[in-house]
Structure 1
Amino acid sequence: MFERFTHDARQVVTVAQELARETDSPKIDSRHVLGGLATCGEATSALRSAGVDNKALAERIRSELSSDGLDAEALATLGIDLESVSARADELFGQGALRRGGRKRARGHVPFTSDAKKILELALREAIRLKHRTIDGRHVLLGLIRAECPGRATLAATGADLDELRAHLEQPEAKSA
């Protein structure tokens, strides 16, 4: 399938992988893919046309990924200041130590979660359905919109009208085959 990916779609996957490394995520999930879509390629203009502030979306994704597994509000009810604990852990053990939970920083290939794999599979299906020979960032975005995944929920939380975005992406002038 990856042989059908355009440079644009490959760049989205590369950015997703970089984001996973930066946020010390052990795997690439749908939010990492959405982060790639929000920051590079053809999908950024489609998101913008749907009223999405790409910079704010990218920041929201980074924040979600950085706080995964740690509930600051719940810890605060116990009198624990997560920010202070995190800062001290970073000071003692290196940047992102608390988020990594003792794991070494990911190097090389970062695997995909099942929801991220599903998005890429759906991107292929969208390209086939639209009779396009290649898969670009717009197809990946269509796959994300179609999937039930955290990335879709994050995108919806920005106020984007997913049905309107899908209709825009499916327009013939939105993609030259």
Structure 2
Amino acid sequence: MFERFADGARRVVVAAGAEAERLRHSHIGTEHLLLGVLDQSQDPAAAVLVGAGLDAESGRRAVVRLLGGPGDELDGAALAAIGVDLGAIREAVEATFGPGALDAPPSDGRRQRWGGPRFTDRARKVLVLSLRAATGRGERRIEIGHLLLGLLREGNGLAVRVIREHGLDPADVERQVEAALARAA
């Protein structure tokens, strides 16, 4: 399917993977695809969200608020200041549960060919819906707008939650994205 992606849509997917890794998330979800779209703010479809005040930074803050991100781990110096010794805790846990018991869970071995985090089922559904959006309009290439339509039409992922929490109506955004795609055609 990725051979049908236009350059901008490919940049969205690459940016989504980079966002997931930067935020230390073990998956690429709809929220990361949304951040990838917002990263392409010059695109007319992405500009629908950016024009409504949902830019890459506000989207990133919303995702971190919902899922966490870098810096959420405990700060050893701050804990030491109140008498908590993380080294001693780690030693005690590893003595009971084995070495590495506090490390991140191991990968299930099902990684994407390019080695990054896996797409969630919802994110994969978004990619399929973006293909349907393009073919439904008689277009051969998947553009950024089609990805955004896929996000909106999936309807239940964190991306739509971020859009709603920003005060936007997904149906209205969908109409505006459709209009932006029509103008670009």
Smaller-chain TM-score bracket: 0.7 to 0.9
Contact kept, 8 Å, 1:37 with 1:137, in 2: the verdict is yes
Q: What's the CA shift string for 1:101-123, capped at 9, x where partnerless?
A: 52479993221010000111000
User: Which runs of 5 or more residues in structure 1 are unaligned?
Assistant: 68-81, 94-99
Name the structure 2 match of 1:44. 46
Name the structure 2 match of 1:24. 24
Sort the Cα spacing of 1:102 and 1:134 in 2 relative to 1 into closer, same or farther, 3 A: same
Q: What's the CA shift string for 1:47-96, capped at 9, x where partnerless?
A: 124x13313123212333326xxxxxxxxxxxxxx96x711299979xxx
- Backbone CA RMSD of aligned residues: 3.2
Aligned residue identity for 2:49? L
Name the structure 2 match of 1:88. 76
Runs of 4+ deviating beyond 4 Å:
89-93, 103-107, 172-175
Question: In 1, Cα distance between the equivalents of 2:78 and 2:24?
Answer: 13
Secondary structure in 2 aligned to 1:160? coil
Q: What's the CA shift string for 1:13-37, capped at 9, x where partnerless?
A: 1111011111111111111111111
Sort the Cα spacing of 1:12 and 1:172 in 2 relative to 1 into closer, same or farther, 3 A: closer
Greater Rg, structure 1 or structure 2? 2
Using structure 1 for the length normalisation, give the TM-score. Answer: 0.75
Contact kept, 8 Å, 1:16 with 1:35, in 2: the verdict is yes
Identity of aligned residues (%): 28
Which of 109, 130, 133 is residue 137 of structure 2 equivalent to? 130
Deviation at 1:163, TM superposition (A): 1.4
Aligned residue identity for 1:87? D
Name the structure 2 match of 1:73. none
Contact kept, 8 Å, 1:12 with 1:36, in 2: the verdict is yes
Sort the Cα spacing of 1:6 and 1:87 in 2 relative to 1 into closer, same or farther, 3 A: same
Name the structure 2 match of 1:78. none
Secondary structure in 1 aligned to 2:126? helix
Deviation at 1:150, TM superposition (A): 1.8
Question: In 2, Cα distance between the equivalents of 1:30 and 1:168?
Answer: 20
Using structure 2 for the length normalisation, give the TM-score. Answer: 0.72
Question: In 2, Cα distance between the equivalents of 1:143 and 1:173?
Answer: 13
Length, aligned pairs only: 156
Deviation at 1:11, TM superposition (A): 0.7
Name the structure 1 match of 2:90. none
User: Which runs of 5 or more residues in structure 2 are unaligned?
Assistant: 80-85, 88-101
Question: In 1, Cα distance between the equivalents of 2:106 and 2:34?
Answer: 25
